[in-house]
Amino acid sequence: MANSPMKLSVVEILEPMHEQGWIRSIDLALAKYLEQLAGPDEEILVLFGALVSHQLGRGHPCLDLHGLLYDPETTLALPPEHASALAREDCMRPAMLVCLYFRDYGSIPMRSKLLQVLPEDPAAPIGSSNSPLVLAPNGRLYLRRYWNYELSIKNDLRQRMRQQPSVDSAALKQVLDELFGPLTAADEYSWQRLACALAMRSCFTIVTGGPGTGKTYTVVRLLATLQRLREQQQPLRIRLAAPTGKAAARMSEAISTELNNLNCSDGLKAEITTEAVTLHRLLGSLPQQRGFKHNHSHPLAADVLIIDEASMVDIEMMAAVVDALPAHARLILLGDKDQLASVEAGAVLGQLCREAEHGHYSDATANWLNETSEQPLPMDKMDPQGEQWPYLQHTAMFHVSRRFDPNKGIGKLANEVNQQQVGWLNDWMYGQEQATAQQQQLDNIDLLVVETARAPAFKELVLEGLSGLSELLQQRPAPSATDVEFDDWARIVLTQLGQFQLLAATRVGEWGLQGLNEQVIRWLHGDLEHVDGWFYGRPVMITQNDYSMNLRNGDMGIVLQRRPDEPLRVVFWGADQRIRWIVPSRLSFVETAYAMTIHKSQGSEFAHTVVVLPDRDMPVLSKELLYTGITRGKTRVSLVCANPWVIIQAVKRKISRSGGL
């Protein structure tokens, strides 16, 4: 820089950071707007505005001023990994930038039209203000809109937790015995039964746990319990929703399947809905607007709302949900708190469930559960100071997976990654003598270390995984076959499509989504002419909800052709296992899906999952990302990387999003 930094304004310092891709255009634009409003000694607030906006782009609803003061580069993740050496010299590093403006809290102008400082006492009145920035206790700095989101969620959940509907303990015990079976002395502790009882205590409940731990099993029985014990004559109005179309479809399928296993009358089953929709459709999206049709003034017609895959719900969407949900209605969140958080800002489920694995149940909660479910809580889940964890008094966490054995294979690897245990991973991946026993325990886990994504060993793994699909594509029925026979063949092809899946940690680069899809097309078709075109056998994913076609974000399909004289069609699952043949020109939001990102795979499962990591460490790599990728596999998981050290670094890194929920 030609001039001394002290002679430059905040905006002049931020402009090179924007030019080099360190911050976004919207971050710089906000700084320019605040600069017009700032007084002579308020440049620090201009800087804060840009940095809060930058953190929003990274998924944080607020800026942690403690972290900014003592470790600015880690807090802001700047300089970014992709920044060149020249860019690093051209831009001011965060440590220097912070030193210029934020030496201590005394440098913050507490009386400014740009900033509202909230009282330390939560009981003290907040007062009214329209300032763009809000400073909350513990050094959390918000843009006002996101502070309002968080405040509305906290106020709403607090009110729902206080609502304690009257429950007949004897009647509840009888219903639980009917739905779960009567307790015997030989029974193991049933967290599913406990969760059902806990949900009757208030109008807010969280049920969390990993894949196969019984969340759907429990929620179906919870719905039956609510209908059986309702006080009103008419059946409860139950709504089911999920963040994405694919998650909603899987929720509908899972609840329908489990409902068939429920031990109750057909009349009661008929009162339990199985239709799930996306949250956007539930609330009623409005064109060209952030708001929704349903809000506080026009609430949903619902007595119970259950949201699946709640880890994917961001803070703005959750605020819209509680705003639209009637005050009397029950809100039940289902999800895996250890999975990746939402793509947008916030980690609502993760924050509400923090420390759920330790229980922290109060005496009052324990007494309620003992009276209503006849099961005393384990002592290691009790906490004399449990009231300090208000959300956990309404949370049930399941620990035992019926899908994975925790002592071997996918279950063991997922647990070790989740607990950030790296010692044995290091031995296993680097071939130490101690790894022999570990390898026996990881009987359905493969590790493939290759220098490039073009390596013959990786090619062999991929082509072997896709061989079943390739064979089915070659076994197309004869042109004389009936449409019914072609539908039967398409069902088999779509089923095979879910048997093998490449999962990428990133979108760009040789090891990312784009590079992997291009590489597989080269191997299968010999060139890249097909990359952006339609070709026979192309697997595709819908990337945005398309209500006109009744297709959801995340839906998977494949390009097939019935007869030589007919055009190509894209085949998708329809209702009741029916087959839909759609002309490609009618699809607007679609991409090739030999590989998909781990983020996009949430809510899905595949027989054999191949998790591909980049050749160098990146901030996006975390134990949550790796855990999510590993648990997408049902019977086999392959880890592919150029350097096992990247896996170790990912396990060591834990996502921690700022927020005050």
Reply yes or no on whether the pLDDT at 45 is more than 60: yes
Number of alpha carbons in the 13 Å side-chain half-sphere of residue 581: 16
pLDDT digits (tens, 9 = 90+) for 479-511: 999 999 999 999 999 999 989 999 999 888 889
Domain boundary assignment for the chain: 8-151, 164-396, 407-650
Q: Could you check whether 164-396 and 407-650 share the same CATH topology?
A: yes
Q: What is the pLDDT of residues 375-399, one digit of tens each?
A: 778 888 888 888 889 999 999 999 8
pLDDT at residue 109 in the model: 86
Q: Which two tokens stand for residue 437?
A: 């026993």
Give residue-wise pLDDT tens across range 251-283: 888 899 888 888 888 888 888 888 888 898 899
Give how far Cα 60 sits from Cα of 115, 345, 656, Å: 19, 5, 9
Q: Residues 321-342: what's their mean pLDDT?
A: 91
pLDDT beyond 90 at 181: no
455 burial type by CB count under 10 A (0-12 exposed, 13-18 middle, 19+ buried): middle
Q: Give the CATH superfamily of 8-151.
A: RecBCD complex, subunit RecD, N-terminal domain (1.10.10.1020)
User: Domain spanning 164-396 has what CATH number?
Assistant: 3.40.50.300
Q: Do residues 346 and 199 lie in contact, with contact meaning Cβ atoms separated by under 8 Å?
A: no
Has residue 184 got a pLDDT over 80?
A: no
Phi and psi at 120, nearest 5°, equal: -65, -35
pLDDT band at 220 (very low <50, low <70, confident <90, very high): very high
Pick the CATH number of 407-650 from 3.30.565.10, 3.40.50.300, 3.40.50.720, 3.40.50.2300: 3.40.50.300
Beta partners for 637? 445, 609
What's the whole-model pTM score? 0.86
Is 623 one of the annotated binding-site residues?
A: no
Nearest to 593 by CA among 524, 522, 544, 521: 521
Cα→Cα distances 394→1, 230, 307, 490, Å: 55, 20, 15, 45
Please tell me the distance from the alpha carbon of residue 14 to that of residue 32, in angstroms, as a whole number: 10
At residue 82, does pLDDT exceed 70?
no
How far does the chain reach from its first CA to its final CA, in angstroms? 41
Q: What is the pLDDT of residues 571-580, one digit of tens each?
A: 998 866 789 9
Average of pLDDT values for 454-463?
A: 94
- Residue 108: the pLDDT is 85
The whole-number pLDDT of residue 433 equals 44
- Check whether 412 is labelled as a binding-site residue: no
Q: Is the pLDDT of residue 558 over 60?
A: yes
Side-chain-side CA neighbours of 186 within 13 Å: the count stands at 1
Asked if 214 and 342 touch (Cβ cutoff 8 Å), the reply is: no
pLDDT value at position 456? 93
Mean pLDDT of 637-661: 86
> Encoding tokens for residue 101?
């403006």
User: Which residue, 646, 632, 554, 623, is CA-closest to 598?
Assistant: 632
Q: Is the pLDDT of residue 528 over 70?
A: no
pLDDT at 569 over 80: yes
Dump pLDDT digits (tens) for 332-353: 999 988 888 777 888 899 899 9
Averaged over 411-425, what is the pLDDT? 80
Cα–Cα dist 358/368, whole Å: 19
Answer whether residue 437 shows pLDDT above 60.
no
Q: Is 21 annotated as a binding residue?
A: no
Residues paired with 497 in a beta bridge = none
210 is in an annotated binding site: yes
Residue 357: alpha-carbon gap to chain centroid: 18
Is-contact 318 152, C-beta < 8 A? no
Please tell me whether 628 is known to bind a ligand.
Answer: no
Question: What distance in Å separates the CA atoms of residue 603 and residue 554, rounded to the nearest whole number?
Answer: 9
**What type of residue is 602?**
Q
pLDDT grade for 438, boundaries at 50, 70 and 90: very low
Check whether 466 has a pLDDT greater than 80: yes
Task: Say yes or no to pLDDT of 439 above 70.
Answer: no
Calpha distance 263→221 (Å, rounded): 9
For 158, the token pair is 């607090």
CB of 301 closer than 8 Å to CB of 237: yes
The 3-class SS string of 502-529 reads EEECCCCCCCCHHHHHHHHHHHHHCCCC
Least confident of 23-27, 241-245, 370-374, 387-391: 370-374
Max intra-chain CA distance, the chain:
82
Q: Which helix (H) or strand (E) holds 32?
A: helix 25-37
Q: Which of 10-14, 102-106, 247-251 has the highest mean pLDDT?
A: 10-14
Average pLDDT taken over every residue of the chain: 86
**212 is an annotated ligand-binding site residue:** yes
DSSP state of 406: T
- Helix ranges restricted to H, 284-362: 315-324, 348-352
pLDDT for res 7: 66
| Residue 570 pLDDT > 90 | yes
Q: How far apart are CA 89 and CA 62, in angstroms?
A: 28
C-beta pairs of 351-356 under 8 Å, 24+ apart in sequence:
351/657, 351/659, 351/661, 352/157, 352/206, 352/391, 352/395, 352/661, 353/206, 353/208, 353/391, 353/392, 353/395, 353/397, 355/389, 355/392, 356/206, 356/208, 356/392, 356/395, 356/397
Q: Say if residue 583 is exposed, middle or buried (CB neighbours under 10 Å; 0-12, 13-18, 19+).
A: exposed
